[in-house]
Amino acid sequence: MENSTQTLPPKRLLDKNPFVFDRPVDNSNLFVSREEALSWVFDNLGNSLSMPLTIHGAPGIGRTTFLRQVQKEAILQDIIPVYVNLKQMSLDSFSEFLWVFGKTIVGGLADIGFSAPPLEKRMLILRPWQAFQQSFWRQLIKEYSGRRILLILDNFETLANKSISAEATRAYRQYLGGLLEESQDVLALTSFAGRIETYDPVELAPFHQSLNYRITQFSESQTGELINQNPVLSIQQSLASYIYSLTRGHPADIQRLCHAIFERMQLYNFRVVTVADVVSTLRTELKPADFRRPIFHQKEKLSYPSREG
């Protein structure tokens, strides 16, 4: 018997999906409409006040994405950005907290091309705070003497969590506040999920005295600006308005919906997106739990044409 081989059609090389929904946006082209917030941050960093800055907004509104953009802009302005996601810190013990905190600083600085003093876990066993302060943090300040250091603390609400001992979280906040007191060149930018005014100032001290900025949902024009950053698919302004009507400008929902639309259009080799494609994507690819807003309920209120051709 002769061996027969089946010739398969070449696999089509798909364009990379520019939209993301399960992590912060790292594509600068998809970072839009936050110029006012960026200006607010750097205008306040440039004044003589050493008061911490705080951004706050609903979950999924783009706080972490915004902080990542602050990082990039800080480097351009000769500021050393130190990003720490407090949600990823260990709160089991203070020595473990400082160990993870320090490792995050070292790794984060290395990622953007900066060095940091060495940090060994054994030095944090007996007197963790004193060791961290003297052998690591002060050395970091010394290494970048004459340059400003921006300590970016994401998800700061972690240290106001009522399910954790108030005494413990207060101690963590106090020690972080102590890092700022080491030098006038050390600045702080924190982020909170939700509205900052809903937090008890006692639960935030010593970070309760800060300048605050609320990150909001996109307007209709800003939604269109985000959607049209996509260089592959052709999306009409009327369609961008329809997507805004569904999502009400919530950045995470826009990204989630557009990511699924992109995948569907690639599957069928379409380049022009219609409203019918959006509705079909919602019906076949997504479910209500994928979104932060009641998009499916909103969909039923809106009329749409069928795809032609």
The whole-number average pLDDT for the span 13-20 is 73
Cα 144 from Cα 5, distance rounded (Å): 64
Q: Considering the chain, what is the average pLDDT of its residues?
A: 84
pLDDT at 27: 65
pLDDT in tens, 172-206: 999 999 998 888 889 999 999 988 888 888 888 88
Identify whether the C-beta of residue 152 lies closer than 8 Å to the C-beta of residue 107. Answer: no
Query: Distance between CA 102 and CA 118 in Å, rounded?
Result: 9
Q: Indicate the pLDDT class of residue 11, thresholds 50, 70 and 90.
A: very low
Q: What pLDDT score does 7 carry?
A: 42
Residue pLDDT, tens place only, 110-146: 999 999 999 999 999 889 999 999 999 999 999 999 8
Q: Show the tokens assigned to 66.
A: 């915004």
194, 56 Cβ separation under 8 angstroms = yes
Q: Are strands 79-85 and 53-57 parallel, antiparallel or unpaired?
A: unpaired
Choose the weakest-confidence range: 22-26, 28-32, 285-289, 292-296: 28-32
CB distance 229 to 30 below 8 Å: yes
Of 79, 86, 92, 123, whose CA–CA distance to 105 is shortest?
86
Half-sphere exposure of 196 (CA within 13 A, CB side): 21
Confidence of residue 16 (pLDDT cuts 50, 70, 90): confident
pLDDT bracket for residue 28 (50, 70, 90): low
Residue closest to 198 by CA, chosen among 238, 171, 231, 162: 162
Residue found by looking up tokens 């970048």 in the block: 144
Amino acid at 201: P
- pLDDT of 91 > 60? The answer is yes
Enumerate domains of the chain plus CATH numbers: 34-214 (3.40.50.300), 220-299 (1.10.8)
Which is higher by pLDDT, 131 or 225?
131
pLDDT for 300: 61
Query: Which of 101-105, 264-268, 274-278, 299-303 holds the top average pLDDT?
Result: 101-105
pLDDT at 216 over 50: yes
Q: What is the pLDDT of residues 233-283, one digit of tens each?
A: 667 767 888 899 889 999 999 989 999 998 888 888 887 888 888 888 888
Whole-number Å distance between alpha carbons of 188 and 190 = 7
Single pTM value for the model? 0.83
H-run or E-run covering 277: helix 275-284
Model confidence band, residue 156 (pLDDT cutoffs 50, 70, 90)? very high
Cα–Cα distance list, 277 to 24, 30, 267 (Å): 26, 22, 12
3-class DSSP state of 54: strand
Strand partners, 191: 55
Q: What is the pLDDT of residue 297?
A: 65
Structure tokens at 172: 């963590």
d(Cα 91, Cα 87) in Å, to the nearest integer? 10
Looking at 82-198, list the stretches that DSSP marks H as alpha helix, in order from N- to C-terminal side.
94-111, 128-132, 138-143, 166-180
Confidence of residue 49 (pLDDT cuts 50, 70, 90): low
Q: State whether the Cα torsion 168-169-171-172 is positive or negative.
A: positive
Percent with pLDDT over 90 in the chain: 41
pLDDT at 8 over 50: no
pLDDT of residue 229: 73
Give me the pLDDT at residue 240, please.
86
Q: Is-contact 66 55, C-beta < 8 A? A: yes
